[in-house]
Structure 1
Amino acid sequence: MISKLDLYKVFCEVAKCESFSKGAKALYMTQPAVSQAIMQLEEELEIRLFTRTPRGVTLTNEGKLLFEYANSAINLINVGEKKLLESKNLMLGDLKIGVGDTISRYFLLPYLEKFHNEYPNIKLKIVNKTTLELCPMLKSGEIDIAICNFPIEDTSLEIKKCIDVQDIFVCGDSYKNTLSMPLSFEEIANLPLILLDSKSNSRRYVEKYILSKGVEITSEIELGSHDLLLEFAKINLGIACVIKEFSQEYLKKGILHEVQMVEEIPKRSIGYCFSKSVSLSPASKKFVEILEGR
């Protein structure tokens, strides 16, 4: 049995064509099928919609009223289907990515550039938060993907590793000579340490590992960004804990010096995650492919 929506589509086409035969041709239907559809709609509404004339059909006053609304509704549905197809083909849409400032600058930018070049009509929204702040936003649907410092222990999130990074301690010129020998965690704990904010997943990882060795570290100075860690260490305000891969410019130029350790902090990962309960949008899937080098 023909659906109510299809009945209205037939009604609108016949009204625009002012002819059952022309409407049937436009809809790729037989004329009897179109006539039957109009009859069914008129019976359901208990009202006559068309006046038959030698040249075709014209809308009754009631038909004109219905056509005004039905045609608008059909047009809106067609526009919605078109927009959906455009979104599927990445001709429009948006992508909301959550990421911290450090990862955004030192890891994410090339991938954003490539995605934007390939899909310029997709609007990018970047939300800068810590890893701990981004996880709830993923689960609430406020963002599509988060680029985070691992480890993350949340079974509701799909977690994918991208790169490994090494946490190290660095110092400026004033500390270089006095810290020439490899240091133990106990010795590091006695130095003026410059660390990220306590909410940072990176700092928590370092603190947890060193504490597992029986040593508790505390900060002399707490900062909100990796770049500030580098700059504060540069002017000899203390020993900063930084990510080696994101500090190469300072290390290669000799602006900062890596503090040699008796035992290295194990490497950890940076990657992306998304909610297991929500399917990735077409834009999100394409961005993930770019992140994975596909």
Structure 2
Amino acid sequence: MYIKLEQYKIFNEAATTLSFSVAARNLFISQSAVSQTISSIEKELQTQLFIRNSKGVSLTKEGKLLHQQIDQALALITGVENQLSNFHELKDGQLVIGAGDTFSEYFLTDYIVKFKQLYPGVKIKVINRTSLETRELLKSDQIDLGFLNLPIKDDSLIIKECFQVHDIFVSKESDNHIYTFNELANKPLILLEKSSNTRNYIDNYFANKGLLLKPTIELGAHNLLLDFARAGLGISCVIKEFSQELLDQKVLHEIKTAQPLPKRSIGYAYPKRRTQSVATNKFIELIASESLSSD
């Protein structure tokens, strides 16, 4: 059995109007084309669908059954087509983003506000996870776009740098002493948990200098690093760009080091094997354009 969708559309119009001539006019085709299509469908289904008479046509019982089902099917198809069109035009749809809590607060929020102003019909969902957890969400297709603390290498992902950040040490008290990394390693340090990519980066940097970090406090969020340093519980290693307000207010003070920690990057990532949605691409374009304008 081989009946094309266009044939069913012609049948549906004829069944709705109960007139081959009106159906032809509505579809901008000839009446003979309508009649031939109906005959072809009846032949293929081996079922009479219309009763033809001098006053026009009426549906048989089988024709009514087919019309009911085809009408629903075409409505469903049309609805999906319209929805996909809305997705493409960003009048509808959803964008699921994975990012850390701190990154969401200090960087992502502004971009989401700008994106929603441009495309208010697109729903946005943000899943807060560590960089390593965000990578796994990308690989399992649970999110469209992920923001990661770099470096992270994964051949299944496209990873591009967004902007650079600087890790610094801060404390409650102002201190003009210039510390060596060896001296810092022996101070009461407050660091993120080992599950974070940031902590791994700091640990590896000190390890390359033959130093093992043994923090007195380990925490799960950047804001807590700031809070515990403010409470005078030790020296926290934080991201300068995300701590600037407290530094400007002199609530916290940057610890001077003999040499700065190497700057690192935060980037966005998406799967190589999957075609990105229009919403994902537009969000990436927004970030890229903002980065270019700030250079």
* TM-score, normalisation: structure 1: 0.95
SS of the residue corresponding to residue 120 of structure 2 reads coil
**What whole-Å deviation, never above 9, does each CA across 1:18-70 have from its counterpart, x for those lacking one?**
11121112122222221111111101110100011212111011111111111
How many residues end up aligned between the 2 structures?
289
Q: Structure 2: state its 5+ residue gaps.
A: 291-295
Q: What does residue 181 of structure 2 align with?
A: 185
**What whole-Å deviation, never above 9, does each CA across 1:156-203 have from its counterpart, x for those lacking one?**
111111111000111112xx34xx322111111101110011111111
Please give the alpha-carbon distance, in whole angstroms, between the structure 1 residues aligned to 2:257 and 2:202.
14
Q: What does residue 263 of structure 1 align with?
A: 259
Please give the alpha-carbon distance, in whole angstroms, between the structure 2 residues aligned to 1:263 and 1:210.
13
* TM-score, normalisation: structure 2: 0.95
**CA drift at 1:119:** 1.1
SS of the residue corresponding to residue 178 of structure 2 reads coil
Q: What does residue 232 of structure 1 align with?
A: 228
User: Is the CA contact (8 Å cut-off) linking 2:13 and 2:23 kept in structure 1?
Assistant: yes
Q: Structure 1: state its 5+ residue gaps.
A: none
**CA drift at 1:282:** 1.1
Please give the alpha-carbon distance, in whole angstroms, between the structure 1 residues aligned to 2:39 and 2:123.
47
Q: What does residue 252 of structure 1 align with?
A: 248
**What whole-Å deviation, never above 9, does each CA across 1:51-106 have from its counterpart, x for those lacking one?**
11212111011111111111111111111111111111111111101111100111
Q: What aligned pairs does 1:22-41 form with structure 2 within 5 A after superposition? A: 22-41=22-41
Q: What aligned pairs does 1:80-91 form with structure 2 within 5 A after superposition? A: 80-91=80-91
Verify: 1:157 aligned to 2:157, yes or no. yes
User: Is the CA contact (8 Å cut-off) linking 2:170 and 2:255 kept in structure 1?
Assistant: yes
Q: What does residue 196 of structure 2 align with?
A: 200
SS of the residue corresponding to residue 164 of structure 1 reads strand
SS of the residue corresponding to residue 242 of structure 1 reads strand
**CA drift at 1:4:** 2.3
Please give the alpha-carbon distance, in whole angstroms, between the structure 2 residues aligned to 1:71 and 1:256.
68
Q: What does residue 60 of structure 2 align with?
A: 60
**CA drift at 1:145:** 0.5
Please give the alpha-carbon distance, in whole angstroms, between the structure 1 residues aligned to 2:52 and 2:214.
89
Q: What aligned pairs does 1:1-294 form with structure 2 within 5 A after superposition? A: 3-173=3-173, 176-177=174-175, 180-293=176-289
**CA drift at 1:3:** 4.7
Please give the alpha-carbon distance, in whole angstroms, between the structure 2 residues aligned to 1:16 and 1:53.
17
Q: What does residue 293 of structure 2 align with?
A: none
Q: CA RMSD in A?
A: 1.3
What is the aligned-residue identity percentage? 47
Q: Which amino acid aligns with 2:10?
A: V
Please give the alpha-carbon distance, in whole angstroms, between the structure 1 residues aligned to 2:285 and 2:4.
41
**What whole-Å deviation, never above 9, does each CA across 1:99-156 have from its counterpart, x for those lacking one?**
1110011111110100111111111111010000010111111110011211111111
SS of the residue corresponding to residue 293 of structure 1 reads helix
